[in-house]
Structure 1
Amino acid sequence: MKNLIAATYAPMHPDGSLNLGMIPSYTTFLQSNSIEGAFVNGSTGDFVSLSTLERKNLIAAWAKDKPKDFFLTNHVGHTNLNEAKELAAHSQGLVDAICVLPPFYFKPKTLESLLFYCAEVAKSAPDTPFYYYHIPVLTGADFNMLDFMKLAVEQVPNFTGIKYSQYNPTDFGKCLHFDQGSKNILFGVDEQLVDSLPLGATGWVGSTYNHLAPLYYKIISSYRNGDIEQAKLLQQKGVFFVQTLDKINGFNGAGKSFMRLFGLDMGPSRYPHKTMTDKQLALALKLMEPQEIAPLFNTSFSVKHLQAIG
C-alpha cells in the first residue's frame, strides 16, 4: 500500500442499518480523487458499534465491487479472539490484506501476549498479508513497534506491515528501515502527515483523505519539490478542518456527515457519535472560509448541496 488510503465510513440508511448499495459510488468517488485503497471496518468505520455479521457484510460488499487496481484492507480486530479469527477467516479471498488492533478492554500486558493474539488471528487467514494496527491512544497498548517487528517476523509468517497511528518519529523511522525497509509501514496521523515525509513515509491511511485528498497530495508534492514552508502551511489547513468539525459535533460523527456535501449521504452515526444537521454543516463551512479550505476539497464537491444549505 502506497500513497493515500481512505479509512472509510460505514454507510447507513436513516434507520441505522447498513446501506451497502452506496459502496460502488463511494469507491468511484474515492478513485476519482486518486485514493488508492480503502481501509474498511476501522475506527473511522465505527467497527466497535457494528456486529460481527455487519462487519462481514460490509467487507463482502466492498470486495464484490472492488476495482482491480484498488487496494482493499479489512480491519478484523476484536476484544474476543474467536470473533477476530472468524473475521480474518471470512476475509481470506475477499481482500488484499487484513489488519488487527489488540484487545482494548482487557489489554495485552506484554509483547509476548500481543504477539500470541496477532499470530492466532493471522493464521486464520494464512494466505492474506497481515498488518498490525498501532493506535495506543485508543487501545492503551503502547509498545515499541520496532521490538514488535523483531518478534513478528519470526512468529507471524504473513506479517507485512503496520498501520502506525501514533506520532513517535524515532520508532516510526526505525520501523520504516527495519530489515532494509522490507515491511510496509503506513503513517496514520492525518494532522501530521507533513512531519512523516522527512522520515521517509510513502503510504498513509486516514479518515480525512475521504474529504481532503487534493490537499494532502499538494502537501506531498510541495515537500518533494522543496517547498517545505508551503507544505507546512497546507498541513495547517488540514488541522483546521479537523479542529472545526471536532468543535461543532465531535470529529467522527461530523466527518461522516460532511460526506453529504460530496453527494454521498452516509446516513446517521451510531452512538456515541453524533450526526450533523445541515445547519451545523453550513456553520462548519462558514468557519472554514477564512482558511480557503473549500477549493481543496475532493473534486466532486457538491456546489448544489452547498447552495441548498446556504
Structure 2
Amino acid sequence: MKIKNLIAATYAPLHPDGSLNTSIISEYSKFLVRNKVAGVFMNGSTGDFVSLSTEERKEITTAWSQNKTSDLYLIDHVGDPSLKVSMDLATHAADKVDAIAVLAPYYFKLNTIEKLVHYCKEVAACAPNLPFYYYHIPVLSGANLNMLDFLKVASKEIPNLEGIKFTNNNLIDFMHCKHFEDGKFNILFGFDEIFLASLPLGADGWVGSTYNHMAPLYYKIKTLFEAGKMTEAAELQRKAIRFVEILDAHGGFNGVAKGFMKTFGIDCGPSRFPHTTLGDDAYNGIKKELDALGLLEHLSG
C-alpha cells in the first residue's frame, strides 16, 4: 500500500516532570484523523528520538499501536547510531505498526552508498513483513548521498524496501527517485516549507511536523495548485513559512511548536533539552502574531 496525503511527524508527549505521557495519544490520534491527516511518523526528529531512551521509544511505539485505527497509517522511525539498538527497535515494532524507517547513523557518518545499504538491509530484515523506508535528512544525519544511487542498489538488496522519506531540498534528486522504475517506490516529501514546489514533480505523500498544526492549509495549497491558481497557492505557502519563522524566533521551532499543540487541546507537555518550553503568555503573543497574518483561520481544528 502506497501511503499518500499528509503524514504528521508526531511529538513525544511528556508529563510536566518530563516523563512520558502516552495517555494523550488516544486524543492525539483522533485530532489528526479529524484534520484528514493520513498517517503518523513517530519517534523521528520532531519526536525528539535523540532525547529518548530506547525503552521510551518502545513505549511510544506500543502506545500508538494500541490506538491504531484504519484511518491512520503508522510509520515508526527506528534509526539509531547503534545498529544493534536500531535492530532491537525494528524487532519490537514488527508486529505493532504499518511500516518502519531509519535515518543514517549520525555520529560516525556514512560516506558511501554501500555502507548505507548495509545498515538499512540489516534493520529491514528485523521486520521483514513491514514496508521499509529510508529517512533521508542529510542536514542532520550528515549522510549527504544521492538517493537515486541509493535506490539503484537498495532495490536489489532490500526486499521490503518501500521508499524514502525525502527531507532535503534537492528537487532534482527527488524527481529522479519519484520516477525510478516507473514510480515503483513511495517517495514521501519531507520539507514542509517547499510543499508547493513538490507538487509539479508528482509528490503525493508528505511527512512533516507542521501537518500537526496546519493540515487544512496544505490541503488548500494542493487544491489551488490543481486548479491552476498558483499565486494564491504561493501566498498560502508563504504563510506556512511565516508560521515556522515566527515560532522559531521564540526559542527554536521544535520545542515551541510542540508547546503550540496545547492550542488544539493536545497538551504534549514540555520539551527536553536543548529545546525551549514556553509559558501560556508567550503563546498568547504568538497567536496575536499569527492572527495579524491571517493564519489562525488555516490552523487545524
Letter in 2 for 1:116: H
Q: Tell me which residue corresponds to 2:181.
A: 179
In structure 1, distance between residues paired with 2:288 and 2:117:
47
The amino acid of 1:257's aligned partner reads G
The answer to whether 1:129 aligns with 2:131 is: yes
Match of 2:140 in 1: 138
1:219-230 alignment, distance < 5 Å: 219-230=221-232
- Letter of the 1:279 partner, please give it: D
**Residue 287 (structure 1) aligns with:** 289
Give the counterpart letter for 1:11 in structure 2.
P
Contact kept? 2:244, 2:253, Cα under 8 Å: yes
* Cα distance in 1, alignment partners of residues 156 and 105 from structure 2: 22
CA distance in 2, matches of 1:133, 1:77: 9
Match of 1:39, SS state, is strand
Give 1:216's aligned residue.
218
C-alpha separation in 1, matches of 2:290 and 2:265: 19
Structure 1 counterpart of 2:65: 63
1:1-310 alignment, distance < 5 Å: 1-299=3-301
- Rounded Cα–Cα distance in structure 1 between residues aligned with 2:264 and 2:71: 23
Counterpart CA distance in 2 for 1:161 and 1:254 is 30
The CA distance in 1 between the partners of 2:71 and 2:289, in whole Å, is 37
Query: Post-superposition shift, 1:285?
Result: 1.3
Deviates further, 48-57 or 62-71? 62-71
Identity %: 53
Q: Secondary structure of 1:78's match?
A: coil
In the TM superposition, residue 140 of structure 1 has moved relative to its aligned partner by 0.7
Give the counterpart letter for 1:184 in structure 2: N
Residue 69 of structure 1 deviates from its aligned partner by: 2.8
- The one-letter code sitting in structure 2 at the alignment partner of 1:21 is S
Q: 1:264, CA displacement in angstroms?
A: 1.0
Q: 1:260 Cα deviation (Å)?
A: 0.7
Q: C-alpha offsets along residues 222-263 of structure 1, whole Å, 9 cap, x if unaligned?
A: 001110111100000000000000001200000000001101
Q: What TM-score comes out, normalization by structure 2 length?
A: 0.98
Task: Tell me the SS of whatever aligns to 1:249.
Answer: coil
Write the letter of the residue equivalent to 1:5: I
Say which SS state the counterpart of residue 213 (structure 2) adopts: helix
SS in 2 for 1:178: helix
Where structure 1 has 5 or more consecutive residues not aligned to the other structure, the ranges are: 300-310
Aligned residues: 299
Structure 1 moving runs of 4+ over 2 Å: none
In 1, the alpha carbon distance for the partners of 2:263 and 2:291 equals 15
Contact 2:33 2:71 survives alignment (8 Å): no
Query: SS in structure 2 opposite 1:215?
Result: helix
Asked whether the 8 Å contact 2:111–2:145 carries over to 1, the reply is no
Segments of structure 2 that go 5 or more residues without pairing to the other structure are: none
Q: Which amino acid aligns with 1:219?
A: I
For 1:194 and 1:68, locate their aligned partners in 2 and report how far apart those are by CA, in whole Å: 28
Q: Which residue of 2 aligns with 1:304?
A: none
SS at the partner of 1:197? Answer: helix
For 2:281 and 2:72, how far apart are their aligned partners in 1?
A: 35
Distance 2:107 2:137 in 1: 14
